[in-house]
Amino acid sequence: MKKIALSIATVATVATAGGDIAPVEPATEVKEIAPVAEYDFMDRFHFKGDLRLRYESIERDDADNKYRNRYRLRLGAKVDLLENLQFQAGMRSGFANPTSGNQTFEDDESLSDYFLQSLRFNIMSLNYKSGNSTYKVGRQPYMMYRPIKSQLVWDNDVSMNGVNYQYKDDTKIITLGINQPTLEEKATDDAEDVSLFIAQYVHKSNLDFAKLNLGTGVYIYDGLKGNIPLFGSSKGNTLDANGFYENDYHIVEGFGELQFKDVVGMPLKVAAGVAYNFGADENNFGYDIALQLGKAKDVGDWQVKYSYTDLEEDATYGAYSDSDNFGGGTAASGHAIRAKYKMGKNLYIAGNFFFNELYESKSKEDGMEPSYERVQLDVIVKF
């Protein structure tokens, strides 16, 4: 009964305005730290969070369809310890998933159990800012720049475990890091043997008619080849006859993004990106193209994003790519439409629509390239 009521409420709310589903930003994103000496003790504490209620349908040719009600809860806190030194912590719902806080409502559990049992720390770090440089140590949100929030290589909710550095000014962004993959409940013990090295450079230019961002990144996973899937599923990546990763994942990314301030009275962004895995000899290329019109910044504003993505089996590390498109991971191609509308100061409605074709290697039936269609209707409250 609970899930039926949530479905009706979600769908009814979405029906009142045009849908849009751009994913919300991490609830714990670090802002510039004010000098501690300038404010009282209690002013050093900053809290933030959001709650998303979702109705979702998944229909595919090679498996039973799914219709479910879900939620995601994120809570974040930042404490200014010293001038420019900050402690950051964040909790997120969801069991054992490195790229998603979604939790499905079940008929046989009380509502209170969902929020208490599924919350897990996904952020716990120290952050130091000096001029244009930021240093982070611990478990933290991703720092890589993604054109129009592309999830070709990195899902929105990926966290980094390690030491990361970023330099940012008006003309460039430089990001470097040494990490381990985020460890979740379902992660195997072998996950501790995997390291992740990241390096990204973004050059920012102001043209006469738009802003141009050009970037490249190198992401090296050490220890994946010959290892078992770290989170229980390969997410499209190739496994050998024994169920181990057949390839390394040494990924090079390149992208370009144009940002127009005013097109038909609204901001417009256009982007394209490619990913190539030098750790595999075949099935190692992926790309996406995207455009976004509008920005849901003020009450009454809306935005809509369209993207087309094609990811071969070993182009990226599937467990960290987009967890919604293709059912998560690689080995598919298709269209995504994401829309968002700001109804109130802290209230949004959104919708995501995916129309994909899965590769035969990802099909649950031999000799089949099934279609995969997914619809997500959201109500989001920020606080």
Identify the H or E element spanning 9. Answer: helix 2-15
Q: Would you say residue 133 has pLDDT above 80?
A: yes
- Cα separation, 334 vs 287, whole angstroms: 11
Q: Would you say residue 182 has pLDDT above 80?
A: no
Average pLDDT score over residue span 348-358: 98
User: Alpha carbon of 371 to those of 64, 310, 338, 374: distances in Å?
Assistant: 13, 14, 19, 10
Split at pLDDT 50, 70, 90, the class of 260 is very high
Split at pLDDT 50, 70, 90, the class of 181 is confident
Single out the residue of 59, 16, 20, 56 nearest to residue 306, CA to CA.
Answer: 20
pLDDT, tens digit, 9 for 90 and up, residues 88-126: 999 998 876 788 889 888 777 676 666 677 788 889 999
Question: 381 — alpha (psi -120 to 50), left (phi > 0) or beta?
Answer: beta
User: Alpha carbon of 38 to those of 33, 212, 260: distances in Å?
Assistant: 11, 37, 38
Split at pLDDT 50, 70, 90, the class of 193 is confident
Average pLDDT score over residue span 331-349: 98
Superfamily of chain region 2-382: Porin (2.40.160.10)
DSSP assigned state of 49:
E
Average pLDDT score over residue span 216-231: 93
What pLDDT is attached to residue 21?
A: 35
Whole-number average pLDDT of the chain: 88
User: Alpha carbon of 89 to those of 51, 93, 121: distances in Å?
Assistant: 17, 14, 7
What pLDDT is attached to residue 41?
A: 80
- Cα separation, 96 vs 3, whole angstroms: 22
What pLDDT is attached to residue 349?
A: 98
Residue 89 CB burial class (10 angstroms; 0-12, 13-18, ≥19): middle
Q: What are phi and psi of 148, to 5 degrees?
A: 45, 40
375 within 8 A of 356, measured Cβ to Cβ:
no
Domain ranges of the chain: 2-382
248 within 8 A of 223, measured Cβ to Cβ:
no
Average pLDDT score over residue span 16-36: 43
Average pLDDT score over residue span 192-214: 94
User: Alpha carbon of 299 to those of 158, 245, 344: distances in Å?
Assistant: 29, 47, 5
pLDDT, tens digit, 9 for 90 and up, residues 224-239: 999 988 888 899 999 9
Q: Would you say residue 179 has pLDDT above 60?
A: yes
